Amino acid sequence: MREIVLDTETTGLDPAQGHRVVEIGCVELMNYIPTGSVYHALINPERDVPPEAEAIHGHSTAFLADKPKFAEIVDQFLEFVGDARIVIHNAGFDFGFLNAELERCERMLLPRERIVDTLALARRRHPGGPNRLDDLCVRYGIDNSRRTKHGALLDAELLAEVYAELVGGRQARLGLDQMQLASRAAKAAIARARPSPLPSRVSEEERAAHRGLLAKLGEAAIWNLYAGKKMDA
């Protein structure tokens, strides 16, 4: 099952007030496991970035001025997402901004049924507990020390790890790894038949010397019970 873990950074809190997306980060999952394929874009919002927004993600108006506009990256973004389910923390926020941007480009909007909200998952699993992304990283022992500011790709990578914990994907991966190791061990334990037997390394002189030793030991020698006939063959 293919899923896309997604995060955005914006100029503000409400697209209806003219705020825009300035960054998108996506991580591809296959059966809850990151594939290593990611999508990341910094975007010129075609408006100023308020100081309070810049303080959160660090992207200034001047920094974003030479970045592509959303209309210029929309095809790449939609191609990467494809028809996969989209995993978002506090999905209503990012979902609203993305559809506002898609509407400006006259593109088909993302349907709500494709969205998995990890905040809702976390609230069901940990009712009453703090369920911000940072809180969940602490709860599950995920290193978020690099998160000194919000960043769409970094947050998507962290959320992918959190999502694996929320749905049991990490345990599933551990079980799969153990099965693969067991399979490899079993294959290694199977002796491969040689196309022809190896030639004997025992010379005829050595065979004669061994027979002479057994003769001195007598018929009662224990060796005769195990190897005498074999060695004479």
| Residues with active-site annotation | 150
- Report the C-alpha gap between 98 and 172 in whole angstroms: 32
- Report the C-alpha gap between 107 and 99 in whole angstroms: 9
The amino acid sitting at 92 is G
